[in-house]
A and B are shown apart, each in its own frame.
Chain A
C-alpha cells in the first residue's frame, strides 16, 4: 500500500473505502471505454466492474455488495451506451450471489485464493444469464446458443482477468 494511504486507515474508515471504490469504478469505466478494445477477443472483453462488484461484496458483505453492483451496473450502462438498467439488474444479482461468500474479517483470504476465481465465475454466470436474456430479446436468435457463445466466453475472460487481483492480494500475505 502506498504511504499516502495506509492500509489500517483504509480498513478502519468506511468513508475512505467508499471513496476508493468510487474512484476505482470511475477508472475502470474509462479503461472500458478507451482501452479495453485493444484486448478484446472476438468482441469479448473482461468485465472489470463485475470484478469490482465481487470484491466489494466479499469485503463489505451482501447488503453493500447489492448496492455496489447496482451502482457499477448503472455506470456501465451509461458509459457503454446500453439500455439503462440491464447491467444494473445483472450486476445487482452478481453482487447478491457474491455476497453469499462473505466471511467477516476473512475477505482477503477469500480474494487471495482460488476461491475468488470460483466466486467471480459463479457471479459472472448469473450476471451473463440475466444480461444476455435481455440482450437477445429484440433479436431472432436462441438465448441459449447466444449465451453459450458470448456469455460463457465473457465469464471465462472475466475470470482470467480476476487472476490479477487474486495474485496481488495473495502476494501481500499479511492477512
Chain B
C-alpha cells in the first residue's frame, strides 16, 4: 500500500494528465454545445446579454467594409429592380399558362445581430430574438443577399446562429442555371467550396448557387453565393468549385430568421430507410 501511495505521489502529474485527457475525450463525446439541453439556453442567454451590453460599440473595419458593400449593393439593386419588374410580369403570365402552384412564402422574423464570434475560426452570431419571438433551433437565417446560417441554440430572448463559414457547414445545394447538385462546405478560407461535382458536369464562373430541394435543413432556392472559379482537382474525378458567399459576414447587422422547420416526417423516414439499409448491408 505504501509503495502504491509513493508511486501515486511520484507520478501524480502524469496520473492527473491522463485523468484530465480522459475527461476531455468524454466531454467531446457529448458533441457540441447544441446537445447540452437546458445548459445551452443558459449559456446562449448569458453570452447574448453580455454582447447586447456592448453592441453599441462601432467596429471601424466593419463600417468601412459595410459602406463599400452598400454602395455596390445599391448599384446592383437598381439594375436588378428594373429586371425584376419585367421578370414579374413574365413570371405571372407563365405561371398562369403552366398552372404552377404559387411559390410558398415563409414568414420571416427580423432580428439584429448583437454579437459576432468570428474570431479563432468559430463563426457564430448572436441575435436579439429568441423563443419568445418564435425563433427556434434548426431555423435558417437569411439576409437580402442570401443564406447566413442556421440557428443552433435559442434562449428566451437570444439565439446563436452558426454562420456558413463554419467547419460544420454541409449544405445540399445546386447550380441554379444547370441544376447540377453538390454539397457546399467551408475549408477554412473566406470562400466556400462546392463538392462532389463530377468533372464532366456543367458549372461555370459566375453561376448562382442555391439551396437544393434535397436539403432537410434549409428551404429550397435560397441563394448561397456565386461561383468564383472552376478547376479540375488533381487525381480526382471531381471539379474544384470555389464559391463566394452572397452574404458579407463582416458587415452582418440585420438578418431574418425564416420560420421554416424541417419536416419531422421526412427526416424520420429518411433516417429509418438509412438505418434499414445499413442493417441489411451488415447482415
Contact = CB atoms under 8 A, between A and B. Distances in A.
Interface of A: 30, 32-38, 40, 43-45, 47, 62-63, 66-67, 70, 73-74, 77-86, 88-89, 92-93, 96, 99, 134-136, 138-141, 146, 149-150, 154
B263 interface: no
A30 B167 contact: no
Given A81-B122, A138-B167, A89 B188 contact: no
A150 B24 contact: no
Interface in B30-79: 30-33, 36, 43, 47, 50-51, 53-54, 57, 59
Nearest to A132: B121
B243 to A, nearest CB: 15
Contacts of A30: 50
A82 B187 CA distance: 17
Interface of B is mostly: mixed
B22 to A, nearest CB: 10
Contacts of B138: none
Contacts of B43: 78-79, 81
A86 B188 CA distance: 18
B185 interface: yes
Task: Report the contact-size class of chain B (Cβ under 8 Å from the partner).
Answer: 35 or more
A121 B235 CA distance: 37
A136 B167 contact: yes
A37 B116 contact: yes
Given A33-B47, A63-B12, 5 more contacts: A33-B117, A83-B28, A89-B20, A92-B20, A96-B13
B187 A139 contact: yes
A38 B195 CA distance: 33
A42 to B, nearest CB: 8
Contacts of B53: 34
Counting chain B CB atoms within 10 Å of each CB, the highest count among A47, A63, A81 belongs to: A81
A80 B27 contact: no
A85 B28 contact: yes
A67 B122 contact: no
A155 to B, nearest CB: 12
A139 B158 CA distance: 29
Contact of A63 (B16, B36, B51): B16
Given A85-B25, A134-B28, A80 B20 contact: no
A89 B28 contact: yes
A77 B50 CA distance: 17
A80 B23 contact: no
B17 interface: yes
B124 interface: yes
Given A40-B118, A44-B120, A63-B12, A34 B51 contact: yes
B227 interface: no
Contacts of B186: 139
B113 to A, nearest CB: 12
Interface string B128-161: 0000000000000000000000001100000010
Contact of B20 (A35, A70, A78, A83): A70
Interface string B4-22: 0000000011001100110
A80 B57 CA distance: 20
Interface in B151-182: 152-153, 160, 167-168
Contact of A138 (B17, B21, B160, B168): B168
26 contacts: A30-B50, A32-B119, A44-B120, A45-B119, A45-B120, A78-B43, A80-B120, A81-B43, A81-B47, A81-B122, A81-B124, A81-B160, A85-B23, A85-B25, A86-B28, A88-B20, A88-B23, A88-B24, A89-B20, A92-B20, A93-B17, A138-B168, A139-B167, A139-B185, A141-B187, A146-B188
